[in-house]
Amino acid sequence: MRKLLSLIVIPILFAGISSAAVAEDMKSMKKEAVETTKAFVKQLGGAMKKEMKAGGPVAAVKVCSELAPQITAQISRDKGWKVTRVGTRVRNPMLGLPDPWEQKILAQFQDRASKGEKFDKMAFAEIVEEPNGKYFRFMKAIGVKGQCLACHGDPGGMKDEVKDLLKERYPHDQAKGYKVGDLRGAVSIKRPL
């Protein structure tokens, strides 16, 4: 009886330790993802404000089309993760098209927003089993702010030079027609485990 009890209790104890370790790992990975996202948004936002002030929306388009991919690529190389921005309406299908998991989370973000949750705190993380293995997945919502409308708002209200540059750089652009407070997309992190 004692031996039988040991065979039952020991695996239960290890399962408890294992799930506690997984929860701690998850907490640590989420914290690192949040910090990485904040650093990315701060760097991109700083460059965007500087260029908007110096050269207006045309300069801002150049920040998004040239600098943002460089920043995400550098973070991805440094971390060994895939870091990107995905959109609810895609401007650049080569870089911003959400995969099925990201589409699901964007839909959840939209639902959460419809219930009054603010985008500035909205994020989601989970461990996902995919054909190539397990991944830690994280997304942080991006909401549309007033300054975003110069390039993402009603095309009728955009300057001609902005429309021309968007058409030149993004021939398949769908990322316009937003209003302040809309869900624009998310920063997405995919980390192999």
Q: In the prediction, which pLDDT does 15 show?
A: 46
E strand segments, the chain: 82-87, 123-130, 133-143, 183-192
What's the half-sphere exposure (Cβ side, CA atoms, 13 Å) at 124?
A: 18
Q: In the prediction, which pLDDT does 8 show?
A: 47
- Cβ neighbours, 10 Å, residue 169: 15
pTM of the model: 0.85
Q: In the prediction, which pLDDT does 64 show?
A: 86
Q: In the prediction, which pLDDT does 41 show?
A: 92
Q: In the prediction, which pLDDT does 94 show?
A: 87
What's the half-sphere exposure (Cβ side, CA atoms, 13 Å) at 152?
A: 25
Q: In the prediction, which pLDDT does 156 show?
A: 92
Tokens in use for 40?
């990315």
Spatial distance between the Cα atoms of 169 and 175, rounded to a whole number of angstroms: 13
Q: In the prediction, which pLDDT does 65 show?
A: 87
What residues in the chain have per-residue pLDDT under 70? 1-22
